[in-house]
Amino acid sequence: MTGEVIFGGRDLTIEEVYALATRKASARLSDNSDFRESIVRSAAHVAETLARDGVIYGVTTGYGDSVTTPVPLDLVPELPLHLTRFHGVGMGRFLTPEETRAVMASRLASLVRGWSGASFELVELLCEMLRLDILPLIPAEGSVGASGDLTPLSYVAGALAGERRVLFKDREMMSAEAFAEAGLKPVVLRPKEALAVMNGTAVMSGLAAMAFMRGTILSSLSTRLTSLASLALLGNPSHFDERLSVAKPHAGQTKVAARIRNDLSAFAARHAPSRLQDRYSIRCAPHVIGVFEDMVPVFRAMLETEINSANDNPLIDPESGDILHGGHFYGGHVAFAMDSLKNLVANIADLMDRQMALLVDTRFNNGLPSNLSGATGPRAAVNHGLKALQIAASAWTAEALKLTMPASVFSRSTECHNQDKVSMGTIAARDALRVLELSEQVAAALTVAVRQALRLRIESGALSKADIGPSASAFFMEIEETIPFIEEDRPLDALLGELCHRTETGMWSLDWQEGAA
C-alpha cells in the first residue's frame, strides 16, 4: 500500500474509492473530534427517542410495508438482527474482493456523516474490516436499488454482527472467527444500526466507482489504439486538424482529437495520406470517444455526491435529533450514470471492433496481409493470423451492445407495493461492469492487431519507428514487449487475459505530451 484514505470531516473521491478497492491505500478514521461527536450524537438521539417512547420507522415498527406493525419495546433489540437474517437471500456470483472493498468504502463514507444513527463502535469496526481486509462474501444479485441495496448489504451488516462468512487471509470463515483472529469483536447491533448499514446505495455506488475508473482507462486506451490503427492503415492525419475542433468545439471531442493529432505528428510530417477521407471508425473516433470524455465530469459529480451522502432512511439530524423520514435510498442518479456509461462504453467497443475489421481485411487495410498473418511463403497457406480473433471481437462487441438496454426503465413494484418505484441502480452498475469487461476484451484484440500490423509495416519499410509520435512510442514498446509477433498460428487466450488485466488495472502508458489534451 502506498497511501492512506481518511474517513470523516471530508469528502471521498472516486480515485480514493478505487485506491482502497485495489489495496493501493488503507483506510483510517479521522482524529477530528467534531466528526466523531456527530456520530455519537446521532446514535444518542435514537436512544433518547426510544426512552421517551418515540416512534422511529424500522426501530419501533416493522420494515417496509410492515411500518404499521408496532414492535413491543422489549423486542426492539432483536429487530436489527432479524433484518440482516431475512434479507439473506442473495444469489449469483460473489462480488470480487475489489468490488467488495469499494462497497465497504462507500458505506463507510456515508455512515461517517453522522446522520444514520449508527454507533461509533460500528463505524470503527467497519473501518477496521476494510483496513485489515476482512471482506464479507456478498452475492451480486437481489437488489432493486430502493430501499437501497438491502439484500447485498445485509451480508455486510450480518458480518459486523459475527453471523456471515467473510474472506480473510485467503480463507473463507465466519466473521466472528476472523474478528477473533484479528483481535476484534463483533458488534451487537443496536436499534437502527442494521437499517443504517443496509438501507443505502453503497453497493451500486461502489460498483459504479469501479466502472467509472475502468471506463476512463478504456477511453484513453481506445484513443491511443485509434492513433496506432490510423498509422497501421497509413491513414490521413488531417482528420484531426485543430481547426476542425474549433469549428465544432465539444470539449471531449477536442481532447481526443488533440491526443490523436499528437500521436500522429511525426507521421504527418513525413507522409502524404493514401486516402482523402478515411472510413468513419478512424475519422470519427474523436466524436465517438469524445462523448464519453464529455460525460466524465457529469458522472463524477453524480457518483461522488451519492458516495458522500447520507443515503439511508430514516435520517437522524445530529444537531436537533429530529427523525427525518425520506427516500434517500433511491439510487436514481447512480442508475442513470451507469445506464449512460455502459451505452458510451459499448459504442467505444463497437468503434474498436470496426477498426480491427479494417486492419484484417485486404480490401480495406491498404496493403497489409490477410488477417495480419505474419507467415510468408508456403507457410502462409496453413496460417490464418487473427481471423478467429476478429470473429471473437465481433462476438464480444455484440454482447456488449446487447447489454445497453437501460436497467432503470425496468422498475418493478415490490414488497407489497410499498417499494412501488425502484431504481434498479445496482443492476445498472453490474451491467456496466460486464459491458466494460467485454469492451476490454475487444481492446485486447485490437491491441494485438495494431501491434501485428505496425510490425508488418515497419518490416516492409512502409513505416519506421520514428513515425510513431513520442507520446505513443512508450506504449508501442510496451505492446511489443508484451505481445509476441504472430508468425505461426497459436492460441491467444492466455495473452488476451493478460492484456485485459493490464487494461483493467491501468498498467498501460497512456500519457500524452503537455498541451496535447
Q: What is the pLDDT of residues 234-251, one digit of tens each?
A: 999 999 999 999 999 999
In terms of DSSP bridges, do strands 165-168 and 135-136 run parallel, antiparallel, or are they unpaired? antiparallel
Three-class secondary structure assignment of 76-136: HHHHHHHHHHHCCCCEEEECCHHHHHHHHHHHHHHHCCCCCCCCHHHHHHHHHHHHHCCEE
d(CA 170, CA 158): 20
Identify the H or E element spanning 340: helix 332-360
Q: Does the pLDDT of residue 510 top 50, yes or no? A: yes
Backbone angles phi and psi of 444, in degrees to 5: -60, -45
Once rounded to an integer, what is the mean pLDDT over residues 84-88? 94
Q: What is the pLDDT of residues 384-405, one digit of tens each?
A: 999 999 999 999 999 999 999 9
Superfamily of domain 3-199: Fumarase/aspartase (N-terminal domain) (1.10.275.10)
Q: Does the pLDDT of residue 65 top 90, yes or no? A: no
d(CA 508, CA 135): 29
Could you tell me how many residues make up the chain? 517
C-alpha dist (Å) from residue 62 to 280, 305, 502: 58, 30, 48
Q: pLDDT value at position 513?
A: 65
Nearest alpha carbon to residue 506 among 5, 16, 18, 3: 18
Q: Does the pLDDT of residue 53 top 80, yes or no? A: no
Q: Does the pLDDT of residue 54 top 80, yes or no? A: no
Q: Which amino acid is at 281?
A: S
Q: pLDDT value at position 156?
A: 98
List Cβ neighbours of 153 (8 Å cut-off, separation of 6 or more): 103, 107, 138, 197, 198, 199, 200, 202, 203
- On average, the pLDDT of the chain sits at 94
d(CA 367, CA 353): 20
d(CA 294, CA 496): 29
C-alpha dist (Å) from residue 376 to 232, 408, 472, 486: 19, 53, 29, 12
In terms of DSSP bridges, do strands 135-136 and 91-94 run parallel, antiparallel, or are they unpaired? unpaired
Q: pLDDT value at position 517?
A: 44
**Taking the CA atoms of the chain, what radius of gyration do you get in angstroms?**
26
Q: pLDDT value at position 1?
A: 67
Q: Report helix angle 150-160 to 97-111, nearest 10.
A: 80
Write down the domain spans for the chain: 3-199, 208-311+324-504
**In terms of DSSP H, where are the helices of 233-331?**
242-247, 251-263, 265-270, 280-283, 285-307
Q: Can the peptide bond before residue 186 be classed as cis, meaning omega within 30 degrees of 0?
A: no
Cell of 70: 408496532
Residue pointed to by grid coordinates 481471423: 387
Residue 350 half-sphere exposure, CB side, CA atoms within 13 Å? Answer: 17
Once rounded to an integer, what is the mean pLDDT over residues 421-446? 97
| Assigned CATH for 208-311+324-504 | 1.20.200.10
Q: Does the pLDDT of residue 75 top 90, yes or no? A: no
d(CA 355, CA 225): 9
List Cβ neighbours of 121 (8 Å cut-off, separation of 6 or more): 187
Instruction: Give the least confident one: 53-57, 81-85, 311-315.
Output: 53-57
Cell of 352: 474498436
Q: Does the pLDDT of residue 126 top 90, yes or no? A: yes
Q: Does the pLDDT of residue 514 top 70, yes or no? A: no
Q: Does the pLDDT of residue 287 top 90, yes or no? A: yes
d(CA 295, CA 273): 33
Cell of 49: 427517542
Q: pLDDT value at position 419?
A: 85
Q: What is the pLDDT of residues 152-188, one digit of tens each?
A: 999 999 999 999 999 999 999 999 999 999 999 999 9
Note if 63 is an active site residue.
no
Once rounded to an integer, what is the mean pLDDT over residues 208-233? 98
Q: Does the pLDDT of residue 515 top 80, yes or no? A: no
**In terms of DSSP H, where are the helices of 199-233?**
202-232
Are 102 and 209 in contact, with CB atoms under 8 Å apart? yes
Higher pLDDT, 516 or 135: 135
Catalytic residue among 57, 63, 155, 280: 57
- Beta-carbon count within 10 A of 468 CB: 23
End-to-end CA separation in angstroms for the chain: 30
Q: Can the peptide bond before residue 26 be classed as cis, meaning omega within 30 degrees of 0?
A: no
Question: Dihedral sign, CA of 270, 274, 276, 281?
Answer: negative
Q: What is the pLDDT of residues 196-217, one digit of tens each?
A: 999 999 999 999 999 999 999 9
Identify the H or E element spanning 343: helix 332-360
d(CA 27, CA 17): 10
pTM: 0.96
Backbone angles phi and psi of 316, in degrees to 5: -115, 115
Q: pLDDT value at position 516?
A: 45
